[in-house]
Amino acid sequence: MKPSTGRNFLHTPGPTNIPERVLRAMLQPAMDFSDPVFLDMTRSCFVDLKKIFRTESEVVCFASNGHGAWEAALVNTLSAGDHVLVPQYGHFTQNWAEMAESFGIVVDEIPGDWRHAIDPDAIEQKLREDSGHAIKAILTVHTDTATGITSDLPAMRRAIDNAGHPALYMVDTVAALGTAEFRMDDWGIDVAVGGSQKGLMQPPGLAFNAVSAKALAACETATLPRLYWDWQRRLEDAYYRWFCGTPPEHLLFALREGLDMVLEEGLENAFERHQRLAEAVRRAVAVWSRANALSLNALNPDECSNSVTTILVADGYDADALRITAREKFDVSLGSGLGRTRGKAFRIGHMGYLNEPMILGALAGTEASLEAAGIPHEKGGVDAALEFLATS
Ligand SMILES: *Cc1c(COP(=O)(O)O)cnc(C)c1O
């Protein structure tokens, strides 16, 4: 292994850079988890998580990754034999749907090409056709981390309302939370799934469900087996229920510090920063793409995500070799293609704790790697990013 001689530039779209402040917050002894100091801190995290999700409803926190919070969303609201509507829009809708199938839930799919956002009209049409209301929930993803595309959540809400359909509206915002506007209550979202290690700058290991009153009511009739993931148990007053056992104390120390940082910056400012850095990345990709070996996966510019950019690599060139060169030679960690794009794409994550020189460093390392890996690209991508950042 190459000895470390400087920072690794972590641009996998999760996990992301953990700020020193957050790391230091974890450097303390474990404590009695019934200590009022600890309970107050934990309560304050729940209060602030509601601000992040923009909700007055409950937020449940799990010592798990995002997959755990997916499972929690399903088992608390659904029964075997229920139908869910899933627009096939990327790797993460697909995987959430596969999880649902494993519980005996019937998945009704809307096909998609992984290069466009979810089509709200297709949702409306499917729901109109379901006059018997067999569909109990719609599973959607805010930003698909494989495709680098963000969907229009309020438009989907309008589609559900236009169809007059009572299905629960469930949204995985794991890769968007903290990087793009998200309004649980205003947008009528019933279950929001979030994770710690993406836009929120946290270590991996915490995941969240924000839960509307309507979703909580669905617990009463949902018959999928659950205990560890049970929202109602976790929302009891007794503190040992909040995490169904020992709380992940150090992850909560980290969360407290990270939430402070997010609120100090201000959510709106964080969204703007993400959008700006994302645009710098896209300016670089646009220049590199002129040599016809690379292209943005997102076909509509206004659907590009603030948090990750997916770049397709033409047949005959090896996207994984590029990633290995970037990691081994330039200490830049890029994301691989996932699912349908495995081996055919690479991804530049740009979410969380990140500023201009960090993104420029990553783009410079990527441009050097394109050269070293022999992938045709027009030079000057970094210059274009620099120019954009200098003048915007
Ligand atoms: C990362 C991610 C997940 C899965 O989270 P894990 O913590 O890896 O289980 C789910 N959905 C989206 C959109 C993601 O980006």
- Do 280 and 362 form a contact (C-beta atoms < 8 A)? no
Average pLDDT over residues 253-273: 98
Query: What is the reported pLDDT for 149?
Result: 98
Which residue's C-alpha comes closest to atom 8 of ligand 1? 66
194 CB near ligand 1 (under 6 Å): no
pLDDT digit string, tens, across residues 314-339: 999 999 999 999 999 999 999 999 99
How much of the chain, in percent, has pLDDT values that exceed 90?
A: 99
Is residue 245 located within the same domain as residue 356? no
**Phi, psi dihedral angles at 140 (to 5 degrees):** -130, 165
Is residue 116 located within the same domain as residue 253? yes
Question: Which of 89, 140, 145, 177 best tests ligand 1's pocket when mutated (most atoms within 8 Å of CB)?
Answer: 145
Residue that terminates a domain, selected from 241, 263, 285:
263
List strand residue ranges (DSSP E) for 48-190, in order.
58-62, 83-87, 106-110, 135-141, 143-144, 149-150, 168-172
DSSP letter (8 states) at residue 360: H
Indicate the number of domains in the chain. 2
Atom of ligand 1 nearest to the CA of 145: 15
- Do 84 and 110 form a contact (C-beta atoms < 8 A)? no
What are the C-alpha distances in Å from 83 to residues 157, 163, 304, 367?
18, 17, 30, 46
Contact residues for 166 (Cβ-Cβ < 8 A; gap 6+) = 133
For residue 387, which of 288, 280, 276, 243 has the smallest C-alpha distance? 280
| pLDDT band of 205, cuts 50, 70, 90 | very high
Is residue 280 located within the same domain as residue 377? yes
pLDDT digit string, tens, across residues 66-80: 999 999 999 999 999
Residue that terminates a domain, selected from 263, 285, 302:
263
Q: What's the gap in Å between 282 CA and the centre of ligand 1?
A: 23
Give domain status of residue 294, yes or no. yes
Query: What is the reported pLDDT for 4?
Result: 85
Is residue 139 located within the same domain as residue 254? yes
pLDDT digit string, tens, across residues 35-87: 999 999 999 999 999 999 999 999 999 999 999 999 999 999 999 999 999 99
What are the C-alpha distances in Å from 164 to residues 36, 100, 126, 127?
47, 24, 12, 8
Give domain status of residue 45, yes or no. yes
- Do 87 and 140 form a contact (C-beta atoms < 8 A)? yes
In the predicted model, is pLDDT for residue 138 greater than 80? yes
In the predicted model, is pLDDT for residue 1 greater than 80? no
Is residue 32 located within the same domain as residue 145? yes
Give domain status of residue 12, yes or no. no
In the predicted model, is pLDDT for residue 241 greater than 70? yes
pLDDT digit string, tens, across residues 167-202: 999 999 999 999 999 999 999 999 999 999 999 999
Give domain status of residue 5, yes or no. no
In the predicted model, is pLDDT for residue 7 greater than 80? yes
Atom of ligand 1 nearest to the CA of 69: 9
Question: Which of 65, 305, 338 best tests ligand 1's pocket when mutated (most atoms within 8 Å of CB)?
Answer: 65
Average pLDDT over residues 215-242: 97
93 CB near ligand 1 (under 6 Å): no
Is residue 316 located within the same domain as residue 257? no
Q: Give the CA dihedral 60, 65, 71, 77, nearest 10 degrees.
A: 20
Is residue 348 located within the same domain as residue 307? yes
Query: Can you give the residue range of the structural domain that contains 243?
Result: 20-263
- Do 115 and 144 form a contact (C-beta atoms < 8 A)? no
Q: What's the gap in Å between 196 CA and the centre of ligand 1?
A: 10
Is residue 133 located within the same domain as residue 105? yes
174 CB near ligand 1 (under 6 Å): yes
141 CB near ligand 1 (under 6 Å): yes
Give domain status of residue 11, yes or no. no
175 CB near ligand 1 (under 6 Å): yes
Q: What's the gap in Å between 392 CA and the centre of ligand 1?
A: 32
| Average predicted confidence (pLDDT) for the chain | 97
Question: Which of 171, 174, 197 best tests ligand 1's pocket when mutated (most atoms within 8 Å of CB)?
Answer: 174
Is residue 219 located within the same domain as residue 96? yes
Give domain status of residue 1, yes or no. no
- Do 378 and 288 form a contact (C-beta atoms < 8 A)? yes
Is residue 95 located within the same domain as residue 153? yes
